[in-house]
């Protein structure tokens, strides 16, 4: 492992114990303490995901001079695959930025001196059930006409308000702590399900039924040649109406920022399925994300 190896502890008791040890040793002065909440881009077990590459960068990264995390970091990981940023109407328990979950997270988060919050949220809000309800059985839609239905649904506003609820609570609990989110990249394998094998998922592959697709089956009413353009519009809309709008909001401008990952993965071979990059794809994204993350940390912890 590189000298900058970090520790990720999703269990609260384990995190608390190690945090206290670092504090007793005076090591918190140079150890980044990072809170992570998100979806499958932070949690998928199919490969080293975006956050895995941040926590445990490859030794080759250090050899190539890729910016790492200095002397390492302590990460608390609360993310779960499939969670929505706003309330999930099909499975309310799989919702991040709703009052019950926010209260639970912030009630705990406030007790530790975190240096940074990393968020990966919102992609799941715009697929599957949402697309089915929004586009229905209409046919012959252009990408722009279908996207207009997304705009008219008010979903971007719903997701933005959900983010805002979390940001308000986080700022109230620990003023001044930076919050860093990210866009998603443009999907290239519309309609492609992920291949589940023991080789890429271990024995858990034998228990899972499928990995997607989450977009293709629900946009059959869009002309086939227009489907990639529609997917790009969805991603661009998320950046414009959610992330960019939050960054411009005077309530959050001092702490909230995001990394624009659009256009990073331009080859089909960098994608595992519709919504998830391969391990190598996530590595490319993590290189961008890590650089922005380092810039948000206190100088002594970079």
Residue 229 within a domain: no
* Burial class, 71, CB count within 10 angstroms (exposed 0-12 / middle 13-18 / buried 19+): middle
Mean pLDDT of 270-289: 94
pLDDT for position 204: 41
Residue 143 within a domain: no
pLDDT tens per residue, range 115-138: 999 999 999 999 999 999 999 989
Q: Which of 4-18, 47-61, 227-241 has the lowest mean pLDDT?
A: 4-18
Check pLDDT > 70 for residue 298: yes
> How distant, in Å, are the alpha carbons of 32, 100, 118, 198, 289 from that of 292?
14, 30, 11, 35, 5
Give one DSSP letter per residue of 124-177, joined into a string.
Answer: GGGSTHHHHHHHTT--SB-HHHHHHHHHHHTHHHHHHHHHHHHHHHHHHHSTT-
Q: Which of 5-9, 74-78, 184-188, 255-259 has the lowest mean pLDDT?
A: 5-9
Check pLDDT > 50 for residue 201: no
How many Cβ atoms from other residues are within 10 Å of residue 49's Cβ? 27
pLDDT for position 202: 45
* Burial class, 204, CB count within 10 angstroms (exposed 0-12 / middle 13-18 / buried 19+): exposed
CATH number for the domain spanning 277: value is 3.40.50.1110
DSSP structural state of residue 95: B
Supply the pTM of this predicted model: 0.92
Q: pLDDT above 70 covers what percent of the chain?
A: 89
pLDDT for position 205: 38
DSSP structural state of residue 297: S
pLDDT for position 239: 98
What is the residue range of 90's domain? 7-126+155-197+239-301
pLDDT band (50, 70, 90) for residue 10: low
Q: Which of 111-125, 189-203, 210-224, 257-271 has the lowest mean pLDDT?
A: 189-203
pLDDT for position 60: 78
pLDDT band (50, 70, 90) for residue 255: very high
pLDDT for position 8: 63
- Domain total for the chain? 1
pLDDT for position 207: 40
Residue 205 within a domain: no
Using alpha carbons, select from 92, 250, 242, 81 the residue that is nearest to residue 161.
242
Mean pLDDT of 5-29: 83
pLDDT for position 70: 62
Using alpha carbons, select from 197, 194, 208 the residue that is nearest to residue 274.
194
Residue 209 within a domain: no
pLDDT for position 5: 56
Residue 216 within a domain: no
Residue 34 within a domain: yes
Check pLDDT > 80 for residue 113: yes
Give the position of tokens 């979806």. 39
pLDDT tens per residue, range 59-105: 777 677 666 676 678 999 999 999 999 999 999 999 999 999 999 99
Residue 149 within a domain: no
Residue 184 within a domain: yes
């Amino acid at each position: 492992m590189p000298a900058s190896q970090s520790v990720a502890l999703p269990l609260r008791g384990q995190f608390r114990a190690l945090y206290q040890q670092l504090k007793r040793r005076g090591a918190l002065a140079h150890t980044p303490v990072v809170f992570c909440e998100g979806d499958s881009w932070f949690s998928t077990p199919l490969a080293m995901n975006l956050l895995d590459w941040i926590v445990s960068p490859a030794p080759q990264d250090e050899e190539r001079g890729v910016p790492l995390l200095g002397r390492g970091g302590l990460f608390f990981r609360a993310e779960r695959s499939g969670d929505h940023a706003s309330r999930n109407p099909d499975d309310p328990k799989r919702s991040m930025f709703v009052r019950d979950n926010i209260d639970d997270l912030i009630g705990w988060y406030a007790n530790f001196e975190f240096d940074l919050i990393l968020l990966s949220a919102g992609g799941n809000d715009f697929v599957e059930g949402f697309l089915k309800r929004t586009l229905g059985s209409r046919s012959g839609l252009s990408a722009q006409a279908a996207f207009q239905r997304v705009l008219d649904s008010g979903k971007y506003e719903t997701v933005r308000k959900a983010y805002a609820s979390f940001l308000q609570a986080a700022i109230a609990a620990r003023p001044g702590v930076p919050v860093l989110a990210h866009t998603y990249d443009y999907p290239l394998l519309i309609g492609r399900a992920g291949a589940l094998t023991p080789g890429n998922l271990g024995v858990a592959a034998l228990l899972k039924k499928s990995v997607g697709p989450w977009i293709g089956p629900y946009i059959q009413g869009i002309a086939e040649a227009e489907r990639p353009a529609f997917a790009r519009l969805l991603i661009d809309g998320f950046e414009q109406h959610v992330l960019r709008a939050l960054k411009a909001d005077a309530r959050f401008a001092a702490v909230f920022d995001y990394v624009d990952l659009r256009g990073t993965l331009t080859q089909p071979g960098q994608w595992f399925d519709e919504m998830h990059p391969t391990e190598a794809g996530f590595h490319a994204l993590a290189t961008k994300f890590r650089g922005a993350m380092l810039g948000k940390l206190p100088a002594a912890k970079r």
